[in-house]
Amino acid sequence: MSKNKQLDAWVSEMATMCQPDAVVWCDGSSAEYDRMLHVMEQSGTAIRLDEGKRPHSIYVRSDPADVARVEEFTFICSMSKDDAGPTNNWKDPAETKAILTPLFTGCMKGRTLYVIPYSMGPIGSPIAKIGVELTDSPYVVASMHIMARVGTKVLDVLGEGEFVRGLHSVGAPLEKDGQPDTPWPCNAKTKYICHFPETREIMSYGSGYGGNALLGKKCHALRIASVQARDEGWLAEHMLILGITNPEGVKKYIAAAFPSACGKTNLAMLQPTVPGWKIETIGDDIAWMKFGADGHLYAINPEFGFFGVAPGTSLKSNFNAMKAIERNTIFTNCALTPDRDIWWEEMTDTPPAELTDWLRRPWTPASGRKTAHPNARFCAPASQCPVISREWEDPKGVRIDAILFGGRRATVVPLVNEALSWQHGTFLGSIMSSETTAAAAGAVGALRFDPFAMLPFCGYHMGDYFGHWLKIGAKADPARLPRLFNVNWFRKGADGKFLWPGYGENSRVLKWVFERVAGTGKAVDTPIGRLPAPGSLDLAGLSVPPSAMDQVLKVDIEAWLAELPAVRAHYEKFGDKLPQGLKDELAALEKRLQGAGAKV
């Protein structure tokens, strides 16, 4: 029970429908977290990792049918189909409820319904928002403890106020008394991740996977929040936030949008290779940005932990993430060592001689297959990151001076490119494209447009979303707006190898961005935007041959011109919702490219 009558009434209505054996209100205590780990151990969901090697941590393997976000079964159930737009799956809200009600009826039989009040953002921050998730999954309860601020303290702040309603079930009732549970209950056949933007509701059925089941994250902090942000004049974005300090001690904050599994966590906590520069983490996945009284945009990380892609993470590629996951961490779908620790591809140069893979099979380096699922994850408290910024919980947020947009592009897109204006930057964000990754079910490596890295996360019509970005720019003092940049760490040479080493070396690009914002970095105008002037990108000590640097920074006029038909086709999807400002930018780009082409 709470002091919020609407909350109590909703919980009791949902409990009547879902028919759990018990209803438990989560208090957010560490004793409760430990209870969840214990419940998961008892039910066979989790294995406790070796206390000496990985204290207070568990290892979980999901059902093979439940390993990633399911975009195909993710729906925006706005009143009008037009509000969901061409990039979302739409379902009529009433029809959806008519499908979901029978599915949710009795879906928690034999299970406990947990009520998780959570705050996205520091509790009480003017930028934070409150939600309540009802779930029948102890894995979700424990993960929500890590990923959001949860429990009684949230109810105290909520009082009689409004909250986002999230109902989640793994969709696997235990119908008969004493029916044994499966290690990872889920519904292998039926999954629905549904959002009702007008009523600020989420209903998620059939999956226990993080992005589908931890409702504070993608469902609330992006899909529902993007609609709230549109209505209230702020931004809810799929962006990391980092602080960057130069050798003189001047600190600036940068937000950066990259599609899922494209290195946001690595960039957010990278170790700079440029001497004297420091990077600190505020967030690795989501940024909520609002205008402060001074007319600048301030960002908070609404999350409390990291739910990061594990494979590829190592002391070399992300030292700080490896430190953050040394304890108090939930690992999902990686491999298990014989001495009860975890391993995944590239964690160490030499794999252990024997492992149990994520599908519970014996594995050796000779097995000839991957031992961890490519979307294996770690879930760890953000506070454990050695380079977490002092300001990461500042309720007023941090002032954003630059925003980066980056995709995974083997060709065409150069290492870094500064937009000519906010409108031009919005254009660059709107035509972002990237190769797909294992973070979502489906093909990997297929090139698709992923505007602002929000394709799977924008809760309304993407054309209106572009318009919202333009409006944000139009109402601000241009001098106070963050500068916008396009980056691409993933360009490849003719031999198919990456041209740019990435990881810590990306600090060289961040340094140039910092200097551009500070007014000291030099740039040259090109048809696509402003690129580093010769000598202005700090390459001291970098072993990339000049020919590769030329390629990585090349503005390939022919290749850009060849992209335009695809950009036009992408834009056509938005019909009359495509803002005129972006049509103008496309025409201007074409003209500049043709002008440059004619000169060549």
Question: Which residues are marked as active site?
Answer: 262
Q: Which is nearer to ligand OXD, 213 or 470 (CB)?
A: 213
281 SS3 class: strand
Of 307, 465, 466, 469, the one binding ligand OXD (CB under 6 A) is 307
Sign of the four-CA dihedral 546, 547, 548, 550: positive
How many beta carbons lie within 10 A of that of residue 562, not counting itself? 12
Q: Are strands 58-60 and 330-332 parallel, antiparallel or unpaired?
A: parallel
| The one-letter amino acid at 434 | S
Contact yes or no for 258/267 (Cβ under 8 A): yes
Best CA proximity match to 475, nearest among 422, 424, 420 = 422
The Cα–Cα gap between 253 and 299 comes to 9
Q: Is 505 a binder of ligand OXD (CB under 6 A)?
A: no
- Min separation Cβ 392 and ligand OXD, Å: 18
Q: Is 260 a binder of Mn ion (CB under 5 A)?
A: yes
Contact yes or no for 376/331 (Cβ under 8 A): yes
Main-chain phi, psi angles of 390, to 5 degrees: -55, -30
Decide which of ligand OXD, Mn ion, none touches 344; Cβ closer than 5 to 8 Å per partner kind: none
The CA-atom distances, in angstroms, between 474 and each of 137, 278, 421, 579 are: 45, 33, 11, 13
Interface size with Mn ion, residues (CB under 5 A): 2
Decide which of ligand OXD, Mn ion, none touches 307; Cβ closer than 5 to 8 Å per partner kind: ligand OXD
Q: Which residues contact 337 (CB under 8 A, 6 or more apart)?
A: 343, 352, 354, 355
Contact yes or no for 116/135 (Cβ under 8 A): yes
The CA-atom distances, in angstroms, between 191 and each of 179, 338, 437, 598 are: 22, 34, 20, 53
How many beta carbons lie within 10 A of that of residue 358, not counting itself? 26
Decide which of Mn ion, ligand OXD, none touches 69; Cβ closer than 5 to 8 Å per partner kind: ligand OXD
- Min separation Cβ 260 and Mn ion, Å: 5
- Min separation Cβ 216 and Mn ion, Å: 13
The Cα–Cα gap between 131 and 162 comes to 8
Both tokens of 49, joined, read 């990792």
Q: Which is nearer to ligand OXD, 71 or 563 (CB)?
A: 71
Q: Which is nearer to ligand OXD, 45 or 260 (CB)?
A: 260
| The one-letter amino acid at 278 | K
Decide which of Mn ion, ligand OXD, none touches 219; Cβ closer than 5 to 8 Å per partner kind: none
Of 66, 133, 136, 285, the one binding ligand OXD (CB under 6 A) is 285
Site string for ligand OXD, 29-68 (x = CB under 6 A): ----------------------------------------
Q: Which is nearer to ligand OXD, 377 or 508 (CB)?
A: 377
Residues 433-452 that bind ligand OXD (CB under 6 A): 439
CA 415 to chain centre: 22
Q: Which is nearer to Mn ion, 46 or 299 (CB)?
A: 299
Of 4, 143, 187, 260, the one binding ligand OXD (CB under 6 A) is 260
The Cα–Cα gap between 174 and 287 comes to 39
Q: Which is nearer to ligand OXD, 260 or 318 (CB)?
A: 260
Of 69, 168, 409, 570, the one binding ligand OXD (CB under 6 A) is 69
Q: CA 323, 329, 331 angle in degrees (round to 5)?
A: 105
- Min separation Cβ 510 and Mn ion, Å: 20
Q: Which is nearer to ligand OXD, 69 or 409 (CB)?
A: 69
- Min separation Cβ 32 and ligand OXD, Å: 24
- Min separation Cβ 140 and ligand OXD, Å: 14
The Cα–Cα gap between 216 and 475 comes to 30
Site string for ligand OXD, 181-220 (x = CB under 6 A): ------------------------------x---------
Interface size with ligand OXD, residues (CB under 6 A): 6
Q: Which is nearer to ligand OXD, 260 or 506 (CB)?
A: 260
- Min separation Cβ 310 and ligand OXD, Å: 12
Number of alpha carbons in the 13 Å side-chain half-sphere of residue 10: 19
Kindly list the residues in this chain that would bind ligand OXD in the complex (CB under 6 A): 69, 211, 260, 285, 307, 439
Kindly list the residues in this chain that would bind Mn ion in the complex (CB under 5 A): 260, 285
